[in-house]
Every structure is written in C-alpha cells, then in structure tokens.
Amino acid sequence: MSSAMSENPSKLTFAAIGDLHVKEDRTLSFRELFAEVSTKAQVLVLCGDLTDLGKPSEAELLAEDLRACSIPVVGVLGNHDYESGRTEDVKRVLKGAGMHLLNGQSYEINGVAFVGVKGFIGGFGRRMLASFGEAVVKDLVAEAVNEATRLENAMRAVASKQAVVVLHYAPIPDTVEGEPLEILPFLGSSRLGETIDRFKVSAVVHGHAHQGRYEGRTPGGARVYNVARSIEKPTGRPYALIEV
C-alpha cells in the first residue's frame, strides 16, 4: 500500500514521480520538492520525460535541482528525452548529478532492487499490435519486444528478495484509463505486463499518461502506479509515496 515513511525498518518507502518536462525557460523548479521528498522517502524514482525536448540544457537545470535531494535517485528516460537526438548528452548530465539511470540494469538499496527500462508502445491485451504487414510495423513491434526482453533479462539477474519495476510507458491499460481512446496504443504495451508477471514484483511505477489513473494491477496481481506529475495521488502532492 502507499504510505508515508515506514517505522518498520524492514520496509522501504520510495517516492516516485514522472513527466517533469523541465524546460529551458525555467518556469518550474523542483528544488523544494526534491528537498521535501528527501525527508519522507529513502529513494526518489523518476519515471521518464525528465526533460521537455531532450536538450542537455534542460537536463542541466534538472541536475541543479537534484542537488537538493539528499537520498539516492534512480530512474529511466522517456520519449521526450529522445526528441532532440541528444540522449547520450542528457544521460551524461544526469549521471553526473548522481542519478542512477536504468536501461536494463538494476540498483539495489536496503534489499530492494529497482529494475528499469523505458518500455515502448504497442497497445494492450487482444488489441496489442502484432508483427504483421509492412516492415515499419514489424520494426515497431520488434522495439516493443526488445524493451520487454531487456526487462526480463534484468529481472533474471536480480538476487534481491524484492524488486520494483521502473518504466516510462504503461504495462497495463488500467492506469491509462481517462486518456483519449485514440491514443491508448501509444501509451504502453501489455508485453511489459506479461514480462512483469513472470517474476515476483513488489510494485511497478510508470508515467507518460498524464490523464490516466493512479493505481491498477497486472493480470498476475502486481501493483502498478501511474506517477505522472499531473496524476492525483494519495499524498496530495505531485509525487507518490510507496512502501515495499
């Protein structure tokens, strides 16, 4: 369940937020928010779309704000972070600020492994896009499969008793409900959910769907949280607090 900082030393509370969309014009600073999070959680998880246009200058502004965070920061990139073709520069800036960027890797703290990939589009359930027809469609499906495979390989390497999956794209339709029907296939893929259900996962966090729903579950019962900044959360704040 979601909660504030646990008094149980065997539990870990992490804060999660996605879709910060940091812009060059500096209209919004997250410095105070990160400082606040540091008093309430043991880890901060960022679920992609950290920058608005994938510019290194935007990443540098975020890096400045992250200096106010006194707890470990882990996360993944989102589609906006790829927009300008400067992804490697964005990664370099954020890693230089101490962020643990995950792309098929894990970061362990207090016996909990945070395992992350960006994920990809493709749709959900029986309406999931199939690898059929034009080559460009097959390429798109292959990318979705590759992301799910990268997540599976990372999960197989986890030795921790607990795992939290960090994504940008949604693994289930429940947490994108409220978005226009026309764009649902572009918000995530059930391939991610199918992979998650092959393992014991304590929680899953993602962003991307700004008008979605906060909480859902995979078919196998894993808890999934849409932590996009605009989503209403039990904390009443832009971030979620989740205990595992």
DSSP string, 76-133: E--GGGGTTS-HHHHHHHHHHTT-EE-SSEEEEETTEEEEE------B-GGGSPPS-S
Tens digit of each residue's pLDDT (9 = 90 or more) over 14-55:
999 999 999 999 888 999 999 999 999 999 999 999 999 999
3-state SS assignment for residue 159: coil
Q: Which amino acid makes up residue 132?
A: F
**Closest listed residue to residue 49, CA positions, set 69, 85, 77, 7:** 77
148 has a pLDDT exceeding 70: yes
Q: Between the CA of residue 113 and those of 13, 21, 172, 192, 231, what are the distances in Å?
A: 13, 26, 21, 18, 25
Mean pLDDT of the chain: 95
For 198, the token pair is 């092959």
Tens digit of each residue's pLDDT (9 = 90 or more) over 57-115:
999 999 999 999 999 999 999 999 999 999 999 999 999 999 999 999 999 999 999 99
Task: Please give the pLDDT value at position 18.
Answer: 98
Task: Please give the pLDDT value at position 9.
Answer: 57
Instruction: Write the Ramachandran bin of 14: left for phi over 0, alpha for psi from -120 to 50, otherwise beta.
Output: beta
- To which residue do tokens 């890096």 refer? 63
For 175, the token pair is 């947490």
- What value does the mean pLDDT take over residues 223-228? 98
Tens digit of each residue's pLDDT (9 = 90 or more) over 171-191:
999 999 999 999 999 999 999
Tens digit of each residue's pLDDT (9 = 90 or more) over 125-139:
999 999 999 999 999
Task: Please give the pLDDT value at position 8.
Answer: 52
5 has a pLDDT exceeding 60: no
Which DSSP category does 145 fall into? H
205 has a pLDDT exceeding 90: yes
Question: Using CA atoms, how far apart are residues 92 and 202, in angstroms rounded to an integer?
Answer: 30
